[in-house]
């Protein structure tokens, strides 16, 4: 079975943005990098993610055989914890989906996902600009609108992966910017 790479990447970015507790990022935190991070928490979250990714890259690219069982166990535990939080947050988002349109359901689901992560991390929730989210979402084709609804994308992973892969350039970035904005 084909791994829905871009869809997985999309949800990883959503999850990462929700971890950043971003304040004042109007163009999307992930695109700015640490230099563009506006708060210490945001810089810390970005730095933590970059350090973890660099550590994995360095360890794996230097010598896979040099990995100790402790390294493997630590990476596995960190990954399992991150995936567990993502699964819980996604389910919270699905449970909270409300609205008459795909965009309204996507907004309520994403808000609940972000709120869940913030609550579990003991951080303040970062608001998502509802009117901007709805306006941008309504500009997408209906296929994309459906695929940013958490419950739909989870139930139709292969379809949504193809939709995201075929999306016009800049679509994923526009969604990321919405989720990183206040």
Give the tens place of pLDDT for each residue, 35-68: 444 444 444 555 555 666 666 555 555 555 666 7
Q: Give the residue among 114, 107, 129, 113 at the shortest CA–CA distance from 24.
A: 129
* Residue 16 pLDDT class (50, 70, 90 cuts): low
Task: Give Cα 160 distance to the centre of its chain.
Answer: 15
Where do the H-state alpha helices sit in 98-170? 102-121, 130-138, 142-147, 150-155, 157-166
Domain that holds residue 116: 5-179
As a whole number, mean pLDDT of residues 134-156 equals: 94
- Residue 37 is encoded by which pair of tokens? 């991070």
Q: How many domains does one find in the chain?
A: 1
User: Is-contact 107 4, C-beta < 8 A?
Assistant: no
For residue 5, pLDDT over 60 is answered with no
């Amino acid at each position: 079975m084909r791994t829905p790479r871009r869809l997985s990447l999309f949800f990883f970015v959503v999850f990462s943005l929700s971890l950043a507790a971003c304040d004042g990022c109007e163009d999307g935190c992930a695109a700015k990098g640490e230099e563009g991070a506006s708060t210490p928490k945001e810089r810390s979250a970005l730095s933590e993610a970059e350090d973890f990714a660099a550590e994995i890259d360095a360890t794996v690219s230097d010598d896979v055989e040099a990995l100790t069982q402790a390294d493997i166990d630590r990476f596995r535990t960190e990954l399992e914890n991150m995936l567990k939080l993502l699964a819980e947050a996604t389910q919270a988002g699905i449970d909270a989906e409300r609205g008459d349109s795909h965009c309204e359901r996507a907004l309520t689901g994403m808000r609940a996902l972000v709120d869940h992560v913030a609550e579990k991390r003991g951080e303040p929730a970062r608001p998502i600009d509802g009117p901007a989210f709805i306006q941008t979402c309504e500009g997408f084709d209906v296929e994309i609108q459906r695929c940013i609804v958490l419950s739909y994308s989870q139930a139709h992973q292969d379809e949504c992966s193809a939709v995201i892969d075929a999306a016009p350039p800049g679509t994923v970035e526009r969604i990321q910017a919405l989720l990183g904005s206040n």
